[in-house]
Structure 1
Amino acid sequence: MRFITSYIVLITLCLSCKNTTSLESDQRMAKLPPVQTQSVEGYERAYFASGCFWCVEAIFESIKGVKEAVSGYSGGFEEHPNYKEVSYGKTNHAEAVEVFYNPDTVSYRNLVIAFFGSHDPTALYRQGPDRGKQYRSIAFYQNEKEKRIIDSIVTQLNETVYDGEIVTQVLPFQKFWEAEAYHQDYERKHPNDPYIIGVSVPRLNRFKKQFPDLLKDQAHL
């Protein structure tokens, strides 16, 4: 009995240590100046994390003015993270997407609105069936203008929809690590995957129903 009790205590302490380390890393990152990325052939870049990147990538690629969304990792300090490390919580990175968008077609503000409207920003360290800090909600900003946009939308949603319960982190963007090739366009390439059928597609369809004015023509999807 003593052994079992000691084991439980050790596991609790271990989990507490991980949470503390994660919090310390977030606090450290929050104090850094944001890194501004360069446009690519007229397309600006934006960065968001809101659960499984298979789902998030498909959502942003359905938006008019978005050329591409790339799955990857951001929000941690560890170099060259990979899927196994991130999914096992061995880094502080979250599954994230890099969104290439045309600001003449879709504004950054509308991307932020789409971000908050496509997931549950009140869920801490989880999204749908996925659990862990790698699935936490983060809006990354590259400059003060983007931060003001994010903050204003958080304030508005907290006052009108979520009663102050939003837990989304607003962090200065530092670096994005592109995920392994097999993760890119995963939803489109694996339509029969049980996770895609049961989680990703329903989430995408809910987004499309909620934001029809943001969507590309079907011919471009």
Structure 2
Amino acid sequence: MKKTLLLLAIATLFSCKNTAQSSENNKTQESIKTATPIEVPLKNGMAKAYFASGCFWCVEAIYESVKGVEESISGYAGGHTKNPTYEASNTGRTGHAEAVEIIYNPDIVSFSTLVDVYFASQNPTQVNGQGPDRGSQYRSIIFYQNQEQKQIIETKKAALSKKLGTTIAAEVYPFQKFWIAEDYHQNYEKLHPNNSYIKNVSIPRLKRFQAKMPEVLKANH
């Protein structure tokens, strides 16, 4: 009996501890949404923007097909932990979403157009995922670096909601930090064209976007 009570006490202790940790993580996660945005300065005339929209393999390829985008990098953003890994973010407990860093020439493509690309390349009403990818790590987030960008995002989001007559799933976060994903994730669609996910999910998603916005595509796409 004593052993049973002891085990119950230990279980309760760890349960309470886990609940407290979860509550603390939730508070930390909520504080990220109200933080002061960090603005990334231009470098060699190039700007950076950050988006989360399901699997980063798909999103990286979509943005790299857009005129004015020099590079798209896969990574993690929007969470409360440091140095997230693919395995850790996939648990949904780090708060991070798979995201991309877009390095672009603002003289060729505007932030406003990048937001248009964002909404045109996804199912804007799907919560916590895109297509077959489900979970908070695949949720949609648009990150803003200043109030002007926030206003652009909110205006376009509201207009799309009105057009579709439904709620738009994308969250709007102040940008804090982008963590670059492991090397094997970079340029994944380009390097693994015969991968079944790439053939059946990623490439069809890319083609759907390209059909919607042919005017923004690079000449070779």
Same fold per superposition (TM over 0.5): yes
Letter in 1 for 2:49: A
Query: SS of the counterpart of 2:103?
Result: strand
Contact 1:25 1:92 in 2 (8 A): no
1:209 corresponds in structure 2 to 211
2:33 is the alignment partner of 1:30: yes
| TM-fit CA distance, 1:164 | 3.4
23 and 168 in structure 1: CA distance in 2 versus 1, 3 angstrom threshold: farther
1:104 corresponds in structure 2 to 107
Name which one, 1 or 2, has greater alpha-carbon Rg.
2
209 and 19 in structure 1: CA distance in 2 versus 1, 3 angstrom threshold: farther
| TM-fit CA distance, 1:29 | 1.1
Letter in 1 for 2:201: V
Tell me how far apart the structure 2 counterparts of residues 129 and 100 of structure 1 sit (CA, whole Å): 28
Deviations for 1:59-81, whole angstroms, at most 9, x for unmatched residues?
A: 00000000000000000120000
Tell me how far apart the structure 1 counterparts of residues 106 and 44 of structure 2 sit (CA, whole Å): 12
Tell me how far apart the structure 2 counterparts of residues 103 and 179 of structure 1 sit (CA, whole Å): 25
RMSD: 1.8
Tell me how far apart the structure 2 counterparts of residues 217 and 85 of structure 1 sit (CA, whole Å): 38
Deviant stretches of 4+, over 4 Å: 17-26
2:8 corresponds in structure 1 to none
63 and 19 in structure 1: CA distance in 2 versus 1, 3 angstrom threshold: farther
106 and 134 in structure 1: CA distance in 2 versus 1, 3 angstrom threshold: same
Contact 1:70 1:98 in 2 (8 A): yes
2:112 is the alignment partner of 1:142: no
Tell me how far apart the structure 1 counterparts of residues 54 and 43 of structure 2 sit (CA, whole Å): 26
- Structure 2, gaps ≥5 residues long: 1-14
Letter in 1 for 2:176: Q
Contact 1:191 1:197 in 2 (8 A): yes
Tell me how far apart the structure 2 counterparts of residues 180 and 140 of structure 1 sit (CA, whole Å): 21
- Structure 1, gaps ≥5 residues long: 1-12
| TM-fit CA distance, 1:31 | 1.1
| TM-fit CA distance, 1:25 | 4.4
Contact 2:29 2:80 in 1 (8 A): no
Query: SS of the counterpart of 1:213?
Result: helix
Contact 1:158 1:164 in 2 (8 A): yes
- Corresponding residue to 2:175 among 146, 161, 173: 173
Percentage identity across paired residues of the two chains: 48
Choose 34-43 or 70-79, whichever is displaced more: 34-43
Tell me how far apart the structure 2 counterparts of residues 35 and 146 of structure 1 sit (CA, whole Å): 12
Using the size of structure 1 for normalisation, the TM-score is 0.87
Query: SS of the counterpart of 1:68?
Result: strand
1:191 corresponds in structure 2 to 193
23 and 165 in structure 1: CA distance in 2 versus 1, 3 angstrom threshold: farther
139 and 45 in structure 1: CA distance in 2 versus 1, 3 angstrom threshold: same
Tell me how far apart the structure 2 counterparts of residues 22 and 63 of structure 1 sit (CA, whole Å): 37
2:4 corresponds in structure 1 to none
Tell me how far apart the structure 1 counterparts of residues 154 and 22 of structure 2 sit (CA, whole Å): 25
Aligned residue pairs: how many? 203
Query: SS of the counterpart of 1:95?
Result: strand
Contact 2:25 2:80 in 1 (8 A): no
Contact 2:127 2:139 in 1 (8 A): yes
- Corresponding residue to 1:46 among 44, 49, 53: 49
